[in-house]
Amino acid sequence: MKCGYLGPEGSYSYLALKEAYPELKPVANTSFIEILEKLESGEIDFGFLPVENSTEGAVTVVMDSLLDLKDIVIQGEVVYSIKHHLFNTTGKMEEVKIISSHPQALEQCRGFFRRKYPHVNLIYAESTSAACYQAKEKGSEYAAVASMWAGKKSGLKVACEDIQDNRFNQTRFVKLGKVRKNPTGKDKTSIAFSFPYDEPGSLHKILKVFSDNHINLSRIESRPAKQELGQYIFFIDFNGHKEEPLIKEILKELERYTRKLYLFGSYPRSEKTL
Ligand SMILES: O=C(O)C(=O)C[C@]1(C(=O)O)C=C[C@@H](O)C=C1
């Protein structure tokens, strides 16, 4: 079975996918949108995408794209430790004028760059592994931020190790597919919703439903509804499976308070960090 990820080989998406789902055949893509398009067309069976990072927060493009999915659900989650290193062709930084990487990776090292290389230009690459191949090709003026695996694989030398601002830097990935997962007793459900009116207490009503039923929320985020300023879509992850009687009741109640309720899926909770 084929699983799309943000490539090329050596990106964190690749490393986390290989470790969590070794039985799947990884298929490299150049963007998150490309993965979702291939998944919808049936060219691949699964998609593996980052949704949030412990330092930088939401991977917003992925969250927004979840709203447009049809017949595709979240089937699983993977929490992966991220350790960034700086690589280039020489292993020394004297000649470097440009540091490139995936925007999320650059943001996770922002403090390091401000302290050590305030005058070096930071530019975006498709992924951390794409940045490595670029640095290899462009030569001594380029450096890339990536995993040890990607840097070594592309033939670069380490210029600086462990450069992320937060020692406990973790990214949460989700596996998307067409089949809904059955309850395991240790599940999580991801939803999003918008409100019909802008009025006091809208969000409170939703949170009260969870609190009254003693359901733990593991994430809450808002994203612009992309209409008027001040209109939002709220994303919530909570413990439980949508086939459990209590969760069914809760979802029914949420429908009463929301304009649109999106159900992204119920799936087993990750119990350890890879
Ligand atoms: O560029 C990569 O290596 C990716 O897999 C993407 C990505 C992301 O978008 O969050 C994955 C994990 C890290 O947080 C940094 C970058």
Residues 6+ apart with CB under 8 A from 79: 170, 171, 172, 173, 270, 272, 273, 274
Share of the chain above pLDDT 70, in %: 100
- Any atom of ligand 1 within 6 Å of the Cβ of 12: yes
Determine the pLDDT at residue 212: 97
Neighbours of 205 (CB within 10 A): 15
Which pLDDT tens digit goes with each residue over 210-249? 999 999 999 999 999 888 888 899 999 999 999 999 999 9
For residue 108, pLDDT over 90 is answered with: yes
CB 8 within 8 A of CB 129: yes
**What average pLDDT is seen over the chain?**
95
Domain identity same for 78 and 115: no
Domain identity same for 67 and 110: no
Domain identity same for 69 and 173: yes
CB 32 within 8 A of CB 20: no
Range of the domain at 116: 85-160
* Residue 273 falls inside a structural domain: no
Q: Among 156-160, 187-191, 200-204, which is the least confidently predicted range?
A: 200-204
Pocket test for ligand 1, best of 5, 6, 19 (most atoms within 8 A of CB): 6
Domain identity same for 61 and 173: yes
- Any atom of ligand 1 within 6 Å of the Cβ of 171: yes
- Any atom of ligand 1 within 6 Å of the Cβ of 147: no
For residue 198, pLDDT over 90 is answered with: no
Domain identity same for 98 and 59: no
Give bridge partners of residue 152 from the DSSP assignment.
none
Q: What is the whole-number distance in angstroms between the Cα of residue 217 and the centre of ligand 1?
A: 25
Neighbours of 31 (CB within 10 A): 12
- Any atom of ligand 1 within 6 Å of the Cβ of 29: no
Q: What is the whole-number distance in angstroms between the Cα of residue 129 and the centre of ligand 1?
A: 9
Give the number of domains in the chain: 3
Domain identity same for 205 and 223: yes
Q: What is the whole-number distance in angstroms between the Cα of residue 164 and the centre of ligand 1?
A: 13
Which pLDDT tens digit goes with each residue over 135-163? 999 998 999 999 999 999 999 999 999 99
- Any atom of ligand 1 within 6 Å of the Cβ of 104: yes
Q: Which atom of ligand 1 is nearest to the CA of 102?
A: 1
Domain identity same for 146 and 204: no
* Residue 106 falls inside a structural domain: yes
Domain identity same for 173 and 75: yes
* Residue 274 falls inside a structural domain: no
Is 116 in a helix, a strand, or coil?
Answer: helix
Pocket test for ligand 1, best of 9, 11, 35 (most atoms within 8 A of CB): 11
Q: What is the whole-number distance in angstroms between the Cα of residue 244 and the centre of ligand 1?
A: 34
Which pLDDT tens digit goes with each residue over 65-97? 999 998 899 999 999 999 999 999 999 988 899
Q: Which atom of ligand 1 is nearest to the CA of 16?
A: 5
* Residue 103 falls inside a structural domain: yes
Write the CATH number for 94: 3.40.190.10
Domain identity same for 57 and 173: yes
Helices (H), 164-216: 202-212
Q: What is the whole-number distance in angstroms between the Cα of residue 209 and the centre of ligand 1?
A: 34
Ligand 1, atom 15: closest residue by C-alpha = 105
Ligand 1, atom 13: closest residue by C-alpha = 105
Q: Which one is predicted more confidently, 256 or 228?
A: 256
Determine the pLDDT at residue 66: 94
Q: What is the whole-number distance in angstroms between the Cα of residue 13 and the centre of ligand 1?
A: 6
On whether the pTM is more than 0.90, the answer is yes
